[in-house]
Amino acid sequence: MAGTITHEHSQADKATKSGVIFKILVIEDQSQYARFVQSVFEDQGYHVQTASNAEEAMQLVAGEAPDLITLDLLMPGKTGVKLYRDLRKHENLQNTRIVILTGLDHDSQGLCSYNEFFKRISRGGQVSEPDAYLTKPIEAETLLHTAQKLLGQ
Amino acid sequence: MSPQVIIDERKTRSGAERIMTHQERLTAIGETIAGIAHSIKNMLGMIKGGEYQVESGLQREDLARIREGWAMVKTGNQFIADLVLKMLTLYRDTQPAYEEITFREIIDSVLMVLKSKAKEKGVRFEVHLEPENISGMVDVGCMREALLNLADNAIDACPAENGCIKFGAVHSNGLHTELYVEDNGRGIAPEIEPRLFEPFFTTKGETGTGLGLPVVQKIVEEHQGVLRSGPGPQGGARFTIRIPRREALG
């Protein structure tokens, strides 16, 4: 589902790359949380799309590539780890920044900490690390600053 | 081998066993704390997100956004309250307070609670009782909680269209009663089945506590019963609670 851009001009200036508005894809199954992340970025003038599962995400990236993706790791269906690998290998996304945004930081789901996550994504072939790994709960400012830094703003 | 050596070996073995037990307990406590912390952190994330939506909504005078934010805060609070109640049920020793009740009454109270969630997802309920006035001696609050957890999971498991959940109660023989809840979802994946009753394991992403089925299992065991899971005739999952007929036992 596509988000709309609701921003003021000064914010739009911050969210552009040579006058083109940065595009962000939020992959999150919890719709309320997805709306929050969407609001944080849209308030700064970014163009935001959201996907609630892996299939929706893969359909969206098959079109125009986002500049940045936030990815939840725990979603029904395809796991975030598998989806991360698929996104990293996707030809459209070679210049896309990927930020993991997850509540996972223990081992009840077989994942614990960033190191364990990285070990798992590395199984079955080398794949590059995420550009950032953020754990919930997260402040809106931290999320925004992370994205701005990754987008060279 | 002299008697002294045997005694010493026994001492050593019992010491090792004690250490192992202590380590296992520490591991179990650690896993439990990690599970609780994980769930609460997720919901704190939800509440923080809600705060942002409310505050930015106030700044923008955007009532729709304020409502969204407030709904997030309520979701987070409700989840944490639910988590605490399930934790208390799971980790506190209790004895059922048995009373006779018709299973229709318990199922109806479960349906009442889940009515709006089911309606939202387009899920319909069917109730099959044999005989219609089938009753039993159970802890009413606990058994209602067990069926509520099973039915709540069943709604989540139902397909987006034409979801159907069947509740049933039958005296399987002279000595037992079986209560079941089945859905017409995709069923239980074989790789998931061994972990179904593991505390904090969930297939619902970050919105599940992972305590629903362990709580059901504990309630059933307190009733000296057995909880079984498997495929149902509709192709989805079927959970069956089999408990002794205390009223028949006298």
Q: Please provide the DSSP assignment of B226-239 as one string.
A: EEEEEE-TTSSEEE
pLDDT, one tens digit per residue, over A83-94 is 998 999 999 999
Q: Would you state the pLDDT for residue A109?
A: 47
**A75 to chain B, closest Cα gap in Å:** 4
pLDDT, one tens digit per residue, over B189-235 is 888 888 888 888 887 776 778 889 999 999 999 999 999 999 998 88
A114 interface with B at CB cutoff 8 Å: no
Beta-carbon separation of A135 and B41 below 8 A: yes
Query: Of the given ranges (B5-14, B28-37, B162-171), which has the lowest mean pLDDT?
Result: B5-14
Nearest to A43 among B37, B56, B204 (CB): B56
Q: Would you state the pLDDT for residue B5?
A: 43
Residues of B in contact with A106 (CB under 8 A): 34-35, 37-38
Are A134 and A143 in contact by the 8 Å Cβ rule? The answer is yes
Distance separating the N- and C-terminal Cα atoms of chain A:
26
Sequence-distant (≥ 6) Cβ neighbours of residue A10 within 8 angstroms: none
Residues of A in contact with B71 (CB under 8 A): 32
The interaxial angle of helices A140-150 and B3-60, nearest 10 deg, is 80
Cα separation, B153 vs B158, in Å, equals 9
CA angle B64, B68, B74 (to 5 degrees): 140
Q: Would you state the pLDDT for residue B16?
A: 55
Backbone angles phi, psi at B72, to 5 degrees: -65, -45
Give the number of other CB atoms < 10 A from CB of residue A86. 16
Q: pLDDT exceeding 90 applies to what percent of chain B?
A: 57
- In the beta sheet, which residues pair with residue A135? A102
- Ramachandran class of B171: left when φ > 0, alpha when ψ lies in -120 to 50, beta otherwise: beta
Give yes or no for a cis peptide into A137 (omega within 30° of 0): yes
Beta-carbon separation of B45 and A103 below 8 A: yes
Give the amino acid at B242: R
Nearest to B201 among A108, A137, A138 (CB): A108
Residues of A in contact with B200 (CB under 8 A): 108
CA angle B31, B32, B36 (to 5 degrees): 115
Beta-carbon separation of B53 and A103 below 8 A: no
Q: Of B161, B159, B179, B194, give the one whose Cα is nearest residue B238.
A: B179
Residues of A in contact with B42 (CB under 8 A): 103, 136-137
Which of B41, B73, B153 is best to mutate for the A interface (most A CBs within 10 A)? B41
In this structure, the strands spanning B135-138 and B99-102 are antiparallel
CA angle A1, B118, A109 (to 5 degrees): 65
Q: Of A48, A59, A110, A52, give the one whose Cα is nearest residue A86.
A: A59
Are A97 and A68 in contact by the 8 Å Cβ rule? The answer is yes
Sequence-distant (≥ 6) Cβ neighbours of residue B82 within 8 angstroms: B209
Cα separation, B149 vs B143, in Å, equals 10
A40 interface with B at CB cutoff 8 Å: yes
Give the number of other CB atoms < 10 A from CB of residue B228. 13
Q: Would you state the pLDDT for residue B249?
A: 66
Is residue B76 within a helix (H) or strand (E), and if so which, with residue range? helix B63-91
Helix/strand/coil for B126: strand
Sequence-distant (≥ 6) Cβ neighbours of residue B119 within 8 angstroms: none
Angstrom distances, CA of residue B57 to CA of A135, B47, B61, B218: 25, 15, 6, 44
Segments of A4-93 assigned E as strands: 16-17, 20-21, 23-27, 47-51, 68-71
Task: Extract the tokens encoding B180.
Answer: 């079941």
Residue B23 banded pLDDT, cuts 50, 70, 90: confident
pLDDT at A106 over 50: no
Are A146 and A134 in contact by the 8 Å Cβ rule? The answer is yes
Residues of A in contact with B49 (CB under 8 A): 32-33, 36-37, 140
pLDDT at B52 over 60: yes
